[in-house]
Amino acid sequence: MTSYLIRNAQLLGGPAQDILITDGVISEIGTGLSASADVDIDAHGLIALPGLVDLHTHLREPGREDAETVLTGTQAAAKGGYTAVHAMANTFPVADTAGVVEQVWRLGQASGYCDVQPVGAVTVGLEGKKLAELGAMHDSAAGVRVFSDDGKCVDDAVIMRRALEYVKAFDGVVAQHAQEPRLTEGAQMNEGQVSGELGLGGWPAVAEEAIIARDVLLAAHVGSRLHVCHVSTAGSVEIIRWAKGKGWDVTAEVTPHHLLLTDELVRSYDPVYKVNPPLRTAEDVQALRAALADGTIDAVATDHAPHPAEDKDCEWAAAAMGMVGLETALSVVQQAMVDTGLLTWEGVADRMSHRPARIGRLSGHGRPVSVGEPANLVLFDPAYRGSVNPDSFASRSRNTPYRGLDLPGRVHATFLRGVPTVLAGELVELGELA
Amino acid sequence: MKRHLVSAADLSRDDALLILDTAEELAQLSGRAVKKLPTLRGRTVVNLFFEDSTRTKTSFEVAEKRLSADVINFAAKGSSVSKGESLKDTALTLQAMGADAVVIRHHASGAPARLAQSDWLHGSVINAGDGTHEHPTQALLDALTMRRHLNPGLGNDLNGRRITIVGDVLHSRVARSNVLLLQTLGAQVTCVAPPTLLPVGIGSWPCEVSYDLDASLAKTDALMMLRVQRERMNAAFFPTEREYSRRYGMNGQRMAKLPEHAIVMHPGPMVRGMEITAEVADSPRCTAVEQVANGVSTRMAVLYLLLGGAVFNDGPSDAPRTETSEAAQ
Q: What is the DSSP string of A224-287?
A: --EEE-S---HHHHHHHHHHHHTT--EEEEE-HHHHH--GGGGGG--GGG--SSPP--HHHHHH
* pLDDT for position A97: 97
Q: Is the pLDDT of residue A360 over 90?
A: yes
Q: Hey, is the C-beta of B105 within 8 angstroms of any chain A C-beta?
A: no
Do A423 and A284 lie in a common domain?
no
Q: Which residues of A314-339 are buried (b: 16+ CB within 10 A; e: fewer)?
A: bbbbbbbbbbbbbbbbbbbbbbbbbe
Is A90 annotated to bind ligand?
yes
Q: Are A135 and A169 in contact (CB under 8 A)?
A: yes
Neighbouring CB atoms inside 10 A of A14's CB total 8
Q: What is the mean pLDDT of residues A296-309?
A: 98
Q: Is A126 left (phi over 0), alpha (psi -120 to 50) or beta?
A: left
Give the whole-angstrom CA distance, residue A101 versus residue A121: 9
Q: What is the mean pLDDT of residues B208-219?
A: 96
CB within 8 A of A185, min separation 6: which ones?
A201
Q: Which residues of B touch A311 (CB under 8 A)?
A: none
Q: Smallest CA–CA separation between B207 and chain A, in Å?
A: 13
Interval A22-81: pLDDT, tens: 999 999 999 999 888 999 999 999 999 999 999 999 999 999 999 999 999 999 999 999
Q: Is the pLDDT of residue B40 over 80?
A: yes
Q: Which carries the bigger pLDDT value, residue B329 or residue B223?
A: B223
Domain count along chain A? 2
ipTM of the complex: 0.82
Exposed/middle/buried for A129, CB within 10 Å: 0-12, 13-18, 19+? exposed
Q: Domain spanning B136-287 has what CATH number?
A: 3.40.50.1370
Instruction: Give the domain CATH number at A201.
Output: 3.20.20.140
What would the DSSP string read from start to end of A367-381?
A: --S-TTSB--EEEEE
Please name the residues between 73 and 102 in chain B that touch chain A, using a CB distance below 8 Å.
Answer: 86-88
Is B162 annotated to bind ligand?
no
Interface contact A193-B114, CB threshold 8 A: no
Q: Determine the Cα angle at A173 with ends A169 and A174, to 5°.
A: 115
Do A190 and A332 lie in a common domain?
yes
CB within 8 A of B130, min separation 6: which ones?
A199, B104, B105, B106, B108, B109, B110, B111, B112, B113, B173
Residues from A contacting B (CB-CB < 8 Å) are 191-200, 202, 204, 268-270, 310, 313-318
| Residue A364 in domain | no
Q: Are A182 and A210 in contact (CB under 8 A)?
A: no
Interface contact A314-B204, CB threshold 8 A: no
Of the CA atoms within 13 Å of residue B207, those in its CB half-sphere come to 31
Give the whole-angstrom CA distance, residue A24 versus residue A418: 4
Last residue of a domain, one of A321, A338, A359: A359
Q: How many residues are there in chain B?
A: 329
Neighbouring-strand partners of residue A158 = none
Q: Are B7 and B36 in contact (CB under 8 A)?
A: no
Do A33 and A135 lie in a common domain?
no
Q: Which residues of B touch A197 (CB under 8 A)?
A: 176, 199, 201, 205
C-alpha dist (Å) from residue A304 to A55, A108, A195, A205, A301: 10, 16, 25, 22, 8
Q: Which residues of B touch A198 (CB under 8 A)?
A: 109-110, 133
Q: Which residues of A touch B109 (CB under 8 A)?
A: 198-200, 269, 316-317
Is A284 annotated to bind ligand?
no
| Residue A254 in domain | yes
Helix, strand, coil % over all residues of chain A, rounded to 5: 35, 25, 40
Instruction: Return the percentage of chain A with pLDDT > 70, whole number.
Output: 99
Interface contact B108-A194, CB threshold 8 A: no
Q: Residue A382's domain spans which residues?
A: 4-48+372-433
Q: Which residues of A touch B131 (CB under 8 A)?
A: 199-200, 317
Neighbouring CB atoms inside 10 A of B32's CB total 10
Give the whole-angstrom CA distance, residue A234 versus residue A238: 7
Q: Looking at chain A, which residue has its C-alpha nearest residue B171?
A: A199
Is A214 annotated to bind ligand?
no
Q: Looking at chain B, which residue has its C-alpha nearest residue A194?
A: B201
Give the whole-angstrom CA distance, residue B2 versus residue B20: 17
Q: What is the mean pLDDT of residues A153-174?
A: 97
Q: Hey, is the C-beta of B133 within 8 angstroms of any chain A C-beta?
A: yes
Helix, strand, coil % over all residues of chain B, rounded to 5: 45, 15, 40
Q: Which residues of A414-428 are buried (b: 16+ CB within 10 A; e: fewer)?
A: bbbbbbbbbbeeebb
Q: Give the residue from A340, A381, A403, A397 showing the smallest Cα distance to A41.
A: A381
Q: Hey, is the C-beta of B106 within 8 angstroms of any chain A C-beta?
A: yes
Do A197 and A75 lie in a common domain?
yes
Q: Hey, is the C-beta of B132 within 8 angstroms of any chain A C-beta?
A: yes
Is A259 annotated to bind ligand?
no
Give the whole-angstrom CA distance, residue B72 versus residue B45: 6
Interval A92-108: pLDDT, tens: 999 999 999 999 999 99
Give the whole-angstrom CA distance, residue B276 versus residue B270: 7
Do A287 and A314 lie in a common domain?
yes
Q: Smallest CA–CA separation between A283 and chain B, in Å?
A: 15
Interface contact A196-B200, CB threshold 8 A: yes
Q: Give the residue from B75, B87, B76 showing the smallest Cα distance to B114.
A: B87
Exposed/middle/buried for A362, CB within 10 Å: 0-12, 13-18, 19+? buried
Q: Are A54 and A81 in contact (CB under 8 A)?
A: no
Q: What is the mean pLDDT of residues A273-280?
A: 98
Q: Which residues of A touch B76 (CB under 8 A)?
A: none
Q: Looking at chain B, which residue has its C-alpha nearest residue A309?
A: B88
Last residue of a domain, one of A297, A325, A359: A359
Interval B169-184: pLDDT, tens: 999 999 999 999 999 9
DSSP symbol at A354: I
Interface contact A199-B132, CB threshold 8 A: yes
Q: Is the pLDDT of residue B320 over 60?
A: no
Is B299 annotated to bind ligand?
no
Mean of per-residue pLDDT scores for chain A: 97
Measure CA A366 to chain center.
13
Is B232 annotated to bind ligand?
no
State residue A186 phi and psi, 5-degree precision.
75, 10
Do A182 and A282 lie in a common domain?
yes
Interface contact B200-A193, CB threshold 8 A: yes
**What positions of A carry a catalytic annotation?**
303
C-alpha dist (Å) from residue A215 to A129, A185, A247, A324, A399: 17, 21, 15, 28, 32
Reduce the secondary structure of A46-113 to three states and give it as a string: CEEEECEEEEEECCCCCCCCCCCCHHHHHHHHHHCCEEEEEECCCCCCCCCCHHHHHHHHHHHHHHCC
Q: Hey, is the C-beta of B41 within 8 angstroms of any chain A C-beta?
A: no
Question: What would you report as the CA-atom Rg of chain A, rounded to the nearest whole angstrom?
Answer: 21
* pLDDT for position B74: 86
- In which band, very low, low, confident or very high, does the pLDDT at B326 lie, cut at 50, 70 and 90? very low
Helix (H, G, I), strand (E, B) or coil at A157: helix
Do A30 and A118 lie in a common domain?
no
Which of A183, A197, A267, A273 to probe by mutation at the B interface, max B CB count within 10 Å? A197
Do A168 and A100 lie in a common domain?
yes
Interface contact A315-B111, CB threshold 8 A: yes
* pLDDT for position A35: 83
Do A341 and A376 lie in a common domain?
no
Instruction: Give the domain CATH number at A29.
Output: 2.30.40.10
Q: Is the pLDDT of residue A432 over 80?
A: no
Residue B113 carries which side chain, given as an amino acid letter?
A: A
Whether the link from the prior residue into A368 is cis, omega within 30° of 0, is no
Q: Is the pLDDT of residue A218 over 50?
A: yes
Interval B273-312: pLDDT, tens: 888 999 999 999 999 999 999 999 999 999 999 997 554 4
Query: What are the residue boundaries of the structural domains of chain B, listed by start?
Result: 4-135+291-308, 136-287
Q: Which fold has domain B4-135+291-308?
A: Rossmann fold (3.40.50)
Least confident of A231-245, B26-40, B123-137: B26-40
- In which band, very low, low, confident or very high, does the pLDDT at B35 lie, cut at 50, 70 and 90? confident
Q: What is the mean pLDDT of residues B109-126?
A: 93
Give the whole-angstrom CA distance, residue B271 versus residue B166: 14
* pLDDT for position B76: 75
Is A276 annotated to bind ligand?
yes
| Residue A154 in domain | yes
Q: Is the pLDDT of residue B329 over 80?
A: no
Do A272 and A382 lie in a common domain?
no
* pLDDT for position B316: 39
Interface contact A315-B205, CB threshold 8 A: no
Q: Give the residue from B40, B21, B13, B26 showing the smallest Cα distance to B313.
A: B13
Q: Are A214 and A157 in contact (CB under 8 A)?
A: yes
Q: Across the A/B interface, how many CB contacts are shorter than 8 Å?
A: 74
* pLDDT for position B327: 35
Is B321 annotated to bind ligand?
no
Give the whole-angstrom CA distance, residue B263 versus residue B327: 29
Between B173-184 and B13-27, two packed helices, what is the crossing angle to 10 degrees?
100
Exposed/middle/buried for B33, CB within 10 Å: 0-12, 13-18, 19+? exposed
| Residue A367 in domain | no
Q: Which residues of B touch A310 (CB under 8 A)?
A: 86
Q: Give the residue from B192, B169, B318 showing the smallest Cα distance to B247.
A: B192
Q: Are B39 and B304 in contact (CB under 8 A)?
A: yes
Q: Which residues of A touch B133 (CB under 8 A)?
A: 198-200
Last residue of a domain, one of A359, A392, A411: A359
Q: Which residues of B touch A316 (CB under 8 A)?
A: 108-111, 114
Interface contact B176-A199, CB threshold 8 A: yes
Q: What is the mean pLDDT of residues A399-418?
A: 98
Q: Smallest CA–CA separation between B150 and chain A, in Å?
A: 28
Do A208 and A305 lie in a common domain?
yes
Q: Is the pLDDT of residue A194 over 80?
A: yes
Whether the link from the prior residue into A277 is cis, omega within 30° of 0, is yes
Do A215 and A113 lie in a common domain?
yes
Q: Is the pLDDT of residue B92 over 80?
A: yes
Instruction: Return the percentage of chain B with pLDDT > 70, whole number.
Output: 90
Q: Hey, is the C-beta of B109 within 8 angstroms of any chain A C-beta?
A: yes
Neighbouring-strand partners of residue B192 = B166, B210
Side-by-side strand order, sheet with B263-265: B208-210, B188-192, B162-166, B222-225, B263-265
Neighbouring CB atoms inside 10 A of B239's CB total 9
Q: What is the mean pLDDT of residues A156-169?
A: 97
Give the whole-angstrom CA distance, residue B199 versus residue A195: 8
Neighbouring-strand partners of residue A20 = A5, A28
Q: Residue A315: which of B87, B173, B176 has the nearest Cβ? A: B87
Q: Is the pLDDT of residue B19 over 80?
A: yes
* pLDDT for position B273: 85
* pLDDT for position A288: 98
Q: Looking at chain B, which residue has its C-alpha nearest residue A318?
A: B108
Helix (H, G, I), strand (E, B) or coil at A40: strand
Least confident of A350-364, B69-83, B147-161: B69-83
| Residue A366 in domain | no
Q: Are B163 and B187 in contact (CB under 8 A)?
A: yes
